[in-house]
Every structure is written in C-alpha cells, then in structure tokens.
Amino acid sequence: MPRKNSIFGALIQIVTMQNNFISVSDLSKEDILSLLKDAAKFEANPNQRLLEGKVVATLFFEPSTRTRLSFETAANRLGARVIGFSDPNATSTSKGETLKDTIKMVSNYADVIVMRHYLEGAARYASEVTDVPIINAGDGANQHPSQTMLDLYSIWKTQGTLENIDITMVGDLKYGRTVHSLVQALSFFHPKFHFIAPDLLRMPLGYRDFCVRHNLEYDEQERFDEEAINRTDILYMTRIQRERFSDLREYEQVKNVYCLHKAMLDNAKPNLRVLHPLPRVNEIAYDVDESEKAYYFQQAQNGLYTREAIICRMLNIQL
Amino acid sequence: MAKTELEVSAIANGTVIDHIPADVTFKIVQVLDLYNHPGAITVGTNLASKTLGKKGIIKIADRFLTDEEIGRLSVVAPNVTLNIIKDYQIIEKKYVQYPKLIVGVVKCSNPKCITNHQPVATKMELFDEKLKSLRCVYCERVMQQNEIELL
C-alpha cells in the first residue's frame, strides 16, 4: 500500500508502482477498515477460488511455522498454488545469494511473494527490486503487519468497533513488536492505553513519544491485578521472550512476573476479551482457556481471514 | 605597532563555509575529506558569533562542493551558509537545508538492518525537523542527531 505518512514514502510508491504490504506505518484508517470488512467476508465464506491460476510464493528465510501455515492455508483456500521454502539452508541463500537475487528469481514465477526475513527492512528492500507485490510476514523485530491486522480484526469483531477501546498491554512491551504495531495502528481510533510491564521491559520511549505526538491517552504501571483488568475492554497479554535477553539473569528476574488466572477475570467487564499473539508460556494459566473471555485461539484463526483479505488486496481483486 | 588580529586573506576562488556550530568544525573537515585537498584551506573555530555564541568557518580555495557533498555536510551541520567565491566576489550564497531524504550517506545504527548486511544503499528520511532526527526507510529505526554516523 502507498506510504501515506510521508511525501517521500508516497514518492517511493509512485516509483515502484505496485501494491505492497510492508509496514503498519503505511496504512491509513481507510485501508484498515476496508481490509477488516473484506476479512469479515472471508470469515463468512473462507473458500473462494478467487486466485485460480495464480501462484503465491512463501519465502521464509527464518522459520515461523504458525505464520507460514496461516498464509499457505489462506492461499490454498483462495485456490492459488503455493511455492516457496521454509528452510533457507536448503536454498541458494546458504550459498551466499543476496536477497535481491533471490527475489528477482522468484519474481519470475510468482504473482505475489509472502516473505519473512531475519533482517530488518528486508521486505521494504525486496519491494524496491521487484514489480511483484511483497507481503511482509515479519522482518526481524521490526514489522509483522498481518499480525496487527488479525489483532485489529479480533478487537473489531469482539467489541463491535475499533473506536474508543480501553486496551491494557501486559508483559514484554520493550521487545514485543506486536504491541508496538498495535499502538501505531490503533492511533486512528482514539484508544486509551494502559502499559503494564516491569521496568526492564517498559514501552520504549519512541512509542510513548508516538502516543504524545498523536494525543493518545496512556498510563504505565508495573502492578498487574484485578483493578487493572476490571477497567479494560481488551487485555493483550504477551510472552516474556527469553531469546531477547543477552543477560539471562535479567530474564530470570522477570520471566514469571505476570500470570493471568481465570479467577482474576471474575469481575471483568462482560465485553472484556483476552488476546495473545501466541505462543504463550506462563503468562496465561491453562484454566483461562475455559473462560468465555479467552479469545487467543480464535484470534489466531482470524489470521486466516485477514491474510486472505491482504493477498486479494495486493492482487487488486475486488470482493 | 603590534597586530591585534590575525589576518586571513580572502580567497580568490572557492567556497567559504560559515556559521558552523563550533563543535562540528573539524567533523566537516573530515566529512569533506579536506585533508587531501591540494589547495589552501583556512579553518577557524571558537570564533565569536552573535547567533551561535561560538562558530567555525572554513575557507577552501579552488573547490566547489557537489550536491552529494552538500548532502553530507547538511547531515553534520544542517544550518551552515555556503559562500561561493569567484574573483574575490561572493557570487552565490547557499543556505544548506536538511534534506528530506538522504541516500547512501548515513549508516543505519541498527545492527540488524538489511543495509548493514547486504549491498543496499542506506536511505534515511527526516523524522523530526526540529530535533533533526532521521528514520531508516528500511528498518524504521529512528536515530537522534547525536547517534548519526556517516558512511
């Protein structure tokens, strides 16, 4: 999609003349809402053979089974054929081929490229070297915009709106890219944020500054209790990511700092739903799964519908 | 009578970079690679300035900066003035402005950015005009002025 937040982004888009889905910061409010409406149509009828005769490439330069299966299922349910790899060690990348060359080569075969890469900015760069639409399925710790779309869809579906949502984000707010992107994407919809994290993992200054610039109401605290839960509409739990810590002693200090139990939801608002990008470790106890407020598995399922919508949008297929 | 002021002669042809914040004067020498310039160069710094407090000035004989060099200069010292001299006359005054997009000049400070691993020219866009912070077009890392490192 055109980068609408800057003139230069728009110019870059004009030069490349193509549809890409690279970053949440490229999306306008209208883009988001129209994609959500399309996703709802796919939820009503997931099997629509709109991509008959098309080829979707899924290039996973780092493993991500959950995201890859979701995209490939979306492509299959749309009637496309899927090519690609999930292990770059079996490709020319391991022989030292540059990303540019790999993208150029795959562009000869595919109508749309879904890619995940361990380097940040890889998807944006790929979009500059090919005319084939690029969908970013995660570039390092930077962006994972289809995850954000499924988060938004889950909020929209469970709350009936994206406007004026009270949302509490809990856990690793420093390294968690899903919470960063969600803050960006919700900025169009007058949210109220509560950031709950240990001091080591608090929301980075850049995103707090983003809230200030966009007049978004937010507060921060370390305590996670019923009081925090009972005031909110969406409880967005995140995993403390062991792989992000260079000092494992620091990880040990915070790894089990927050744990949601079913009893903590007893006096929550009726519309409250618990979201989590998955996988979870200890931050949501298994008894929460029995609560009607647990929504994380449906949230993952919503990824299928939003990804169907994104793929079709990139190929200019009107629903 | 003893001289009270050091006289620096005007240059016949070349460029005078004026209104340099004093603390980046020598950085400009480095950025423009003036060490290897064969002509005369005068570098002054910590000179009294009404607007800056202390300023630097660099006079370079027989050298006219390219657009690329002006781009590099603007990243280090966004508000300097360039006087283009021909036959001892200022024939043009340029006010260097911070570019909106800087290609191939600034190193991305994110070690995981693709520009630090593959043959990709860096691309920075101006993020905050007041703070002069830059944002990498690729990895979206925002760099404050004091973090900016040239390639």
| B25 lies in some domain | yes
A161 and A272 both lie in a single domain? yes
- Contact residues, chain A to chain B, C-beta under 8 Å: 6-9, 12, 23, 25, 98-100, 117-122, 124-125, 139-143, 206
Compare all CA atoms of chain B with the CA of A11 and give the residue at the minimum distance: B101
Q: What is the pLDDT of residue B151?
A: 80
Domain that holds residue A48: 7-144+303-314
Mean pLDDT calculated for residue range B133-140: 95
A46 and A190 both lie in a single domain? no
CA-CA distance, A36 to A155, in Å (whole number)?
11
Interface probe for A, chosen from B103, B127, B129, B137 (most Cβ of A below 10 Å), is B137
Domain end (from B80, B95, B110): B95
The angle subtended at Cα A295 by Cα A291 and Cα A42, nearest 5°, is 140
The angle subtended at Cα A27 by Cα A22 and Cα A33, nearest 5°, is 125
| B121 lies in some domain | yes
B70 and B18 both lie in a single domain? yes
| B7 lies in some domain | no
For A230, the 3-state DSSP assignment is: helix
B43 and B85 both lie in a single domain? yes
A126 and A170 both lie in a single domain? no
Q: Which of B74, B73, B150, B55 is nearest to B108 (CA)?
A: B150
pLDDT averaged per 10 residues in sequence order, chain A, 319 residues: 51 54 96 97 97 97 93 98 88 83 97 96 98 96 95 98 98 93 97 96 93 96 97 96 82 90 97 96 96 97 98 94
A18 and A138 both lie in a single domain? yes
Q: pLDDT tens digit string along B42-97?
A: 999 999 988 889 999 999 999 999 887 887 888 888 889 999 999 999 999 988 87
| B2 lies in some domain | no
CA-CA distance, A235 to A244, in Å (whole number)?
23
More confident residue, B117 or A141: B117
Chain A residues touching residue B143 (CB < 8 angstroms): none
Chain B residues touching residue A139 (CB < 8 angstroms): 139
Find the CATH number of the domain harbouring A73.
3.40.50.1370
Q: pLDDT tens digit string along A51-79?
A: 999 999 999 999 899 999 999 999 999 99
CA B101 to chain A, closest CA, distance in angstroms equals 7
Chain B residues touching residue A8 (CB < 8 angstroms): 100-101, 125, 137
Q: Is the pLDDT of residue B101 over 90?
A: no
Domain that holds residue B131: 101-150
A83 and A98 both lie in a single domain? yes
Q: What is the pLDDT of residue B145?
A: 82
Burial class (CB in 10 A: 0-12, 13-18, 19+), A40: middle
B87 and B18 both lie in a single domain? yes
Compare all CA atoms of chain B with the CA of A124 and give the residue at the minimum distance: B138
B29 and B83 both lie in a single domain? yes
| A2 lies in some domain | no
CB contact under 8 A, B112 and A7: no
Q: What is the pLDDT of residue B129?
A: 81
How many domains does the structure of chain B reveal? 2
B21 and B76 both lie in a single domain? yes
A288 and A181 both lie in a single domain? yes
B110 and B78 both lie in a single domain? no
| B5 lies in some domain | no
Q: What is the pLDDT of residue A17?
A: 40
B26 and B87 both lie in a single domain? yes
Q: What is the pLDDT of residue A307?
A: 98
Q: Which of A22, A29, A33 is nearest to A306 (CA)?
A: A33
Chain A residues touching residue B100 (CB < 8 angstroms): 7-8
Q: Which of A135, A152, A157 is nearest to A144 (CA)?
A: A135
What is the model's pTM?
0.85
| B111 lies in some domain | yes
B33 and B70 both lie in a single domain? yes
| A319 lies in some domain | no
Q: What is the pLDDT of residue A89?
A: 80
How many domains does the structure of chain A reveal? 2
A275 and A169 both lie in a single domain? yes
Mean pLDDT calculated for residue range B129-144: 90
| B54 lies in some domain | yes
Burial class (CB in 10 A: 0-12, 13-18, 19+), B92: exposed
Chain A residues touching residue B101 (CB < 8 angstroms): 8
CA-CA distance, A116 to A100, in Å (whole number)?
14
* Confidence band, pLDDT 50/70/90 cuts, at residue B2: low
B43 and B113 both lie in a single domain? no
B84 and B38 both lie in a single domain? yes
CA B126 to chain A, closest CA, distance in angstroms equals 10
A114 and A33 both lie in a single domain? yes
ipTM of the modeled complex: 0.87
Domain end (from B65, B95, B125): B95
